[in-house]
Structure 1
Amino acid sequence: MRLFLVSQLLLVFISVLALTRAQTAPPTTTDTATTETSTAQPTPTDTATTTQAIAIATTTAWTAPPIFYPFGSAAGDTEQFENGGDTYRDVAFSTPFMFFGRMYNNTYVNNNGLLTFNQPLPEAHPYPFPTHGSEDFIAPLWTELDDIGIGRYSYQQYTNGSVLTRASQEINQYFPHKGFSASWVFVATWDYVQTSDVNVLNLHSAPAITFQVVLISGGGYSFILMNYGDCAATYYPVEAGYDTISSTDYHVIHYAFDGSYIPNLKNTSNVNVPGRWAFLVNNGTETENVIGVQLKLSSFLDLTLNENIEDVLQKIKQELVNRGASSFFEMKLRNVETDKEKNVAGRETFELITLT
């Protein structure tokens, strides 16, 4: 009887012990491997790959439009960083540049998108062309660039190499039958971004204003190219074009009291190349030809007044240049006749001749 009871107690003890071990047993090897696999951290190779991918995505270099000539430190330019300082650089030309009959040995590269020859004007607001003043202006985009953010303007001149070859080819494309060969090129570029962060400036990761002017000469001829990339809208007055002393020659690409239009500049052209404008600004050693053209125009203006006559002549000239004519010609009035019998409204007609 006692043996039977002892046996029963022993069986109960063994059963309880087995149950306790089953409840507290550690996970099997298979379960442990599965858990580790599902929570594994990236291997060193994965981490390096991820870091490299991020670096490539955030440091991709910004590139200028193809119409731009080389510029910046990579091209060997002299650079000026601009952060609201109203700066300028006085640059001596290695070769004199002829601009509508006046020879210049230097230019002032102003921070506000303007080239001047007699004095620097880095702080000036743009003047509407024609100014009828005492200064020659080359204004690819004259505006308050230093107030929109930070940026750089840079410049370089060339007397040999691929830049001269390119300039010769492009000028001969736009102005054929001259057999032009460039002997000197001056490139000035402005690149500003609406930011105060230099990294944002370098990456162009904010709205930017980027444009360029190229002075080209050779064989007595002088040309200018104006190249436009992205140009973010601005609230400041803007002027694009050129003007001369007493405004004997000028051209307005765009002028306005605000810069809401300038994003469109990269789509405009007078040589059928979006973003590029080209002008002949000195006609070399060619003999001047006088061509008589008789026009009959109707006008509500009193064309016996000199100021009205000059205004009409300049508008006609600008329209001709917009349609591809060389900018180097003059228009002079020969006589004015009022024809009230043929025109009941009393509009006036006049004749003019052009000098090319």
Structure 2
Amino acid sequence: MNYFLTVYTTTATAWAAPAIFYPFGSSAGDIEHLEFDNDSFQYVDFSAPFTYFGRKYSSIYVNYNGLLTFNQSLTESHPEPFPTYGNEDYIAALWTDLDDIGIGKYWYQEYTNGSVLDQATQDINQYFPNRGFTASWVFVVTWDYVLTWDMNAYDRHSDPPITFQVVLISGGGFSFMMMNYGDCAAISYPVEAGYDTINSTDYHVIHYHSNGSYIPNLKNTTNVNVPGRWAFLVNNGTENVIGLQMKLGSYLDLTQTQNIESVLQLGASRFPSTFLIGKEELTYHSS
């Protein structure tokens, strides 16, 4: 009797970070920290201040619960729903219970030159055009495969992961923030994604829920038409408008009360203002 042995082989597919992610990890020269419990944090000094809704910060706390704070560490694993009306500026990349007993990794790096600044300049000018923005400083924080319980699975990047990233960008008096989401496994803990400010004068909720069953969908959400990416102007909270643009259907629209009021208000402006009337463009300069 003849016996045949059939051997099946599999080829592991090398894991690659989502294309929208900025470079991170040992190959990018990041500072690496292993997660030992979600009560941990890292205090990081900046080489240049970052303006966040009118307040300049020269350092930041990278909390292992997926939260960035400026004034103090905050390691609470259960998020507070925004707005909190509290005394802290929050950046909640994915604020939740990410305790994974030393398997997931947390990376960060500050950039003041090189290709990462070029990438940030290109991205910001795409999402916030007409500024001629040039990035002079970038800070990247990445939570990589957090909540992965098996070290072998982490090494292979084979278990359902939770991987996300925050990118802070500044230059020329402007400050921007991006949040990038890759694969995020569903979890049973409360989850908050977004940002909040002191007294909640400015805040935005990307997602909040009492459990994390929704978070696998984060990689498909966006406010800049790039799935998985959210971008915000955060230096003052509101646009600094230089000049005014109005689009009117015809010259007759100038006789409408609300449009007359808008034109009269331009008298107090020292900036050129553009009106699009049909297909013609008029530019108003105050004297």
- State the TM-score, normalized to the length of structure 1: 0.63
> Which of 16, 24, 39 is 1:63 aligned to?
16
CA RMSD of aligned residues (A): 2.6
Is 1:207 equivalent to 2:160 in the alignment? yes
Q: What's the offset of the Cα at 1:196?
A: 2.8
Aligned with residue 82 of structure 2, among 129, 144, 157:
129
1:168 match: secondary structure: helix
Partner in structure 2 of residue 113 of structure 1: 66
Q: Is the 8 A contact 1:215 1:224 kept in 2?
A: yes
Q: Secondary structure at the match of 2:183?
A: strand
Aligned position for 1:102: 55
Shift of 1:73: 1.1
Separation in 1 of the partners of 2:104 and 2:152?
11
Tell me the equivalent position of 2:34: 81
What is the aligned counterpart of 1:270 among 214, 218, 223? 223
Residue 197 (structure 2) aligned to one of 241, 244, 266 = 244
Displacement after TM superposition at 1:144 (Å) = 0.4
Separation (CA, whole Å) in 1 of partners of 2:201 and 2:3: 79
Partners of 1:186 and 1:215 within 8 A in 2: yes
For 2:75 and 2:183, how far apart are their aligned partners in 1?
A: 22
1:126 and 1:239 in contact (8 A); partners too: yes
Q: Paired residue for 2:271?
A: none
CA–CA separation in structure 1 for the residues paired with 2:108 and 2:66: 12
**Which of the residues 168, 175, 187 maps onto 1:234?**
187
Q: Measured at CA, do residues 208 and 92 of structure 1 come closer, stay the same or move farther in structure 2, by a change above 3 Å?
A: same
The percent of aligned pairs where both chains have the same amino acid is 68
Aligned residue identity for 1:255: Y
Moved more, 179-188 or 117-126: 117-126
Distance 2:184 2:200 in 1: 27
Bigger Rg over Cα: 1
- Deviations, residues 178-200 of structure 1 (Å, cap 9, x unaligned): 00000000000002354432221
Runs of 5+ unmatched residues, structure 1 = 1-34, 42-49, 292-356
Q: What's the counterpart of residue 265 of structure 2?
A: none
Amino acid at match of 1:92: D
Checking the alignment, whether the CA contact within 8 Å between 1:212 and 1:226 is kept in structure 2 is yes
Aligned partners of 1:148, 1:139: CA distance in 2, in Å? 21
Provide closer, same or farther for how the CA distance between residues 288 and 169 of structure 1 changes in structure 2, counting only shifts above 3 A.
closer
Q: CA deviation at 1:283?
A: 4.9
SS of the equivalent of 1:121 reads coil
Between 1 and 2, higher relative CO (CA 8 Å, sep ≥ 6) is seen in: 2
Partner residue of 1:170 out of 120, 123, 134? 123
TM-score by length of 2: 0.78
8 Å CA contact 1:242–1:252 kept in 2: the answer is yes
Gaps (5+ residues) in structure 2? 245-287
Q: Does structure 1 residue 185 correspond to structure 2 residue 185? A: no
- Structure 2: how far apart are the matches of 1:79 and 1:133? 31
Q: Report the secondary structure of 1:282's partner residue.
A: coil
Check conservation: 2:38, 2:77, Cα contact below 8 A.
no
Match of 1:257 in 2: 210
In 1, distance between residues paired with 2:222 and 2:38?
32
Q: Secondary structure at the match of 1:146?
A: coil
- Whether the 8 Å contact between 1:193 and 1:207 is mirrored in structure 2 is no
User: Which residue of structure 2 lines up, in the alignment, with residue 219 of structure 1?
Assistant: 172
Q: Which of 87, 91, 112 in structure 2 is aligned with 1:138? A: 91
Distance 2:91 2:185 in 1: 21
Letter of the aligned partner of 2:136 in structure 1?
Answer: S
The answer to which structure has the higher helix fraction is 1
1:24-81 Cα distance to aligned partner (Å, 9 max, x none): xxxxxxxxxxx9xx8999xxxxxxxx99x76xx24x4311110000111111111111
Residues 177, 184 of structure 1: CA spacing in aligned structure 2 closer, same or farther, 3 A cutoff? same
Q: 1:92 aligns with which of 38, 45, 54?
A: 45
